[in-house]
Structures are given as structure tokens and as C-alpha cells.
Amino acid sequence: MKFTVYQESRIGKRASNQDRTAYCYSRDALLMVVADGMGGHLHGELAAHIAVETITEAFKREATPSLSNPSLFLSQALIRAHHAIIEFAADRGMPEAPRTTCVACVAQGKVSYWAHAGDSRLYLIRGERILAQTHDHSRVQRMLDQGLIDAADAATHPARNRVFSCLGGSHQPQIDISPKTSLKSGDIIALCSDGVWAPLGNDLLVDSLAGANPMYSVPRLLEQAETRAGANSDNLSLIAMQWEKNYAESIPSNVSTKTLPLDSFTAKMGNIGKERLPSELSEDDIARSIAEIHQAIKKLSD
């Protein structure tokens, strides 16, 4: 495989960053994940942390070096993350499980597959148009589908942040799985939280990403989104991957996996680390939280 990939996450104007991002690749498969912890519930950042780590660890176990059934992998990995969040909350005696939206994508064999729950989005951009896009699991999207509001109303609707599917919480999530979608050289796949797509809109997002090296387009796009959102800027997270586009070898985000050993993985976690867990926790609490997250993930894997 050959691809160029770059990820970045920003706090925006929030007190903490509840988004989590990661990508991981073997010789023959690439995984990308964005999770947006839901701020209306307790410790959404923990749910996002668990989701990204659970899905990434599942990929490392099963991509040997490719996935036998990427669609099934994505479905099972998101459900496993959902249960890992619930197990974590139960073990800690939390009054309710934290919640997160999530979007994940696998590319292998010149084909892409993706899955999502909530309103974190994936865009597949070919040339200067959107070839495919996830469909938000939100009240506002339902109203749009029913013709009750238009796009302008949706952008400012008071219920625009209310989703009906997420990982964690009391209900089994609705997880939408994409059809198998072929990739062509130059295609861009972008995964992002609503802090990115909401202030920009599709046209500006496509204009900024189309044909550009993600290493440069991603920071510019986040800057635009944060500026347009102003004082209300949410956390902003974006992973963009351009397929089989050759850039100068000095660019560090340009990846060729052909020389990787069969059992080798490269993982790049975004803002995952103890400094990004809840700021009100002590150092001991943070260490315990990380250990318990790994324990919850291991329990679901056994």
C-alpha cells in the first residue's frame, strides 16, 4: 500500500479535549478512527479513549497482515468498544456509562470500508466532489430527511448536537456499515468530529482537502474551522488520508508498507495520554484510569 496520512486534534474553546484519534497500519491494511466524547455525559473523554484503544487493539490482533472480513471487523470492533465502555463504568461504580460518537475506516487491497455511530463523519473525496459520506445519527439529520428543515436551519438548530446512536450508554448502538468502495489514486478519505464539519460545511471542506497533501491541508482546515466557529468552537479532530499519491520522500507522512514484516504494525495515536484524561483527577487517579481501561479492553478480548 501507498498512502499519505495526517491527523491532528485541537481543544477549540472548550475546557478540555474529549476527542480521540488514531491510525494504525500493517503491511496490507490501514485503520483510521475518530471518537468524539459526548460532553453532555460524565467523562466523554474516557469513552472516546476506550473506543479508540479497543478498536486499534482489535486491528492489531486481526490484521495479519490483512483483515479477512473488514466489514465484519468494523461492526464487531465498535460493538466491542461499546461493551468495554460499559464494563469500565460498571467496574468503577459510575452512575452512568460515558458515551462517545465514533467513525472508523479500513483500507486494504485498494478498497475501503467504514462504520460509524453518531455524528462523527467520514468523507470520501474524488477529484473535487464528495463520492461518499456517512449519514449522521442525529435528530437534526432526521428532520432534514423528512423535509422539516433545510440545511441553513440545521446549522443553527438547538438540537443539532443530539444524537440517537453512540458507544456507551444504556442502548445498543446503531452502527452503519458502508458498502465495499474501491479506491483510486488521489482519493482522499477524511474522518472528523462535528467540531470540524459543522462550522465549515461540505463545500469548504472539499475545497480545502481536494488534491492537497493532508500534511498541509489538515492544519489549514482546522484553522479555518476554529476561526469560523469563533468563541463557540468545539473540539476539532481530523484524520485525512490520500491514497497512492506520491510526494517527495522527505515528507514524513508519505507511507509505503511494502517492506513491512508480516507481523509488524505502526500505530499513531493522536491526543491519547494521561495529560488528556480528566483534569480534575489526581496523578494516581489517572494512572488507575489508564490501567482500568486496558483491563476492560483485555476482558472484552479474552
The residue with cell 468503577 is 92
Q: Assess whether pLDDT exceeds 80 at residue 275.
A: no
Mean pLDDT score, 89-106? 93
Nearest to 161 by CA among 177, 178, 128, 139: 139
d(CA 245, CA 111): 15
Q: Assess whether pLDDT exceeds 90 at residue 43.
A: no
d(CA 281, CA 208): 38
d(CA 240, CA 257): 18
Q: Assess whether pLDDT exceeds 70 at residue 239.
A: yes
pTM: 0.89
Q: Assess whether pLDDT exceeds 80 at residue 299.
A: no
d(CA 90, CA 217): 41
What is residue 247's predicted lDDT score, i.e. its pLDDT? 53
Q: Assess whether pLDDT exceeds 90 at residue 65.
A: yes
Q: Assess whether pLDDT exceeds 60 at residue 203.
A: yes
What total of structural domains would you count in the chain?
1
- Give the H or E element holding residue 198: helix 194-209
Q: Answer with the residue of higher pLDDT: 273 or 112.
A: 112
Q: Assess whether pLDDT exceeds 90 at residue 294.
A: no
Which residues, other chains included, contact 208 with Cβ-Cβ below 8 Å and sequence gap of 6+?
200, 217, 220, 221, 224
Q: What are phi and psi of 226, to 5 degrees?
A: -65, -40
For residue 61, CA distances in Å to 56, 67, 172, 223 come to 9, 10, 24, 36
Q: Quote the domain boundaries for residue 91.
A: 2-301
Q: Which grid coordinates are listed for 41?
A: 455525559
What is residue 246's predicted lDDT score, i.e. its pLDDT? 59
Q: What CATH number is given to the structural domain containing 212?
A: 3.60.40.10
The top-scoring range by mean pLDDT among 124-138, 154-168, 273-287 is 124-138
DSSP per-residue codes, 16-55: S--EEEEEEE-SS-EEEEEEEE-TTSTTHHHHHHHHHHHH
Q: Assess whether pLDDT exceeds 50 at residue 302.
A: yes
The confidence band for 142, taking pLDDT boundaries of 50, 70 and 90, is confident
